[in-house]
Structures are given as structure tokens and as C-alpha cells.
Amino acid sequence: MFDTVCPTDLMPIRVGDKWTGMIIRCLEHAPRRFSELRVPLRGITAKVLTQSLRTMERDGLITRTVVTGPARQVHYELTPLGRSLLVPLNAMCAWAEEHWDALIDAREAGLSRTG
């Protein structure tokens, strides 16, 4: 049924790691620089952001462009493949918005039963 050929690791379906989904959103409308990404992603450390970015680049979801000039700049931009992830991502967000309350309620009820 679920072939072992389908390792969850390869599956960006869960939209990668903790930050991948948010990064895609941040790059949705325009390319961004490293520092620009750190703003909306409150709390992310440079190391973790770099890690996520590198993984996404390796997987062909984004491109990395170094702009040498007066001040160093690195631009990150969605590839067509990365952009295509917006579809399932939107589906996920739509679900979340629609069922968020039910989810919270269910969890609270569940917790009250088990501790």
C-alpha cells in the first residue's frame, strides 16, 4: 500500500521542515534577501534559516543568487517547482482556517480526558 520507495524524508508534502512552508509564503510575491526573511520568521536563528534554505535549494524549490556590490546581498526566489507547492499549501491553510476551532476544541476535550 505505502511502498517503502516513498520515504517521508523525500516528501515535501508535509512541506519539509518546520519553516519550509512559511519560507515559501514569504517568497510568494517576490524574491527576498536573507535578512528580509528573518523578519517575518520571528525567532528563527541564522543557522536554521540557512539550513532550511540550503535544503530547499538542493531540492529545487528555490534559487540562490549572490549580488556582489557595495553591500553584499543574497536573493532567494521560488522556482516553478517551489511555486507549484503553493497549491497544496493553500489547501492546507484553507483547511486550517476552516477547522481550527474544531481542532482546538477537540484537543482540549481530549486533554481533559487523559491529562
Contacts with DNA, residue ranges (CB under 7 A):
8-9, 17-19, 33-36, 43-48, 50-54, 64, 71-74
Q: N- to C-terminal Cα distance for the chain?
A: 35
Q: Decide which of its own copies, DNA, none touches 51; Cβ closer than 5 to 8 Å per partner kind.
A: DNA
- Shortest separation between residue 74's beta carbon and DNA, angstroms: 3
8 A C-beta contact, residue 52 and residue 20: yes
- Shortest separation between residue 85's beta carbon and DNA, angstroms: 16
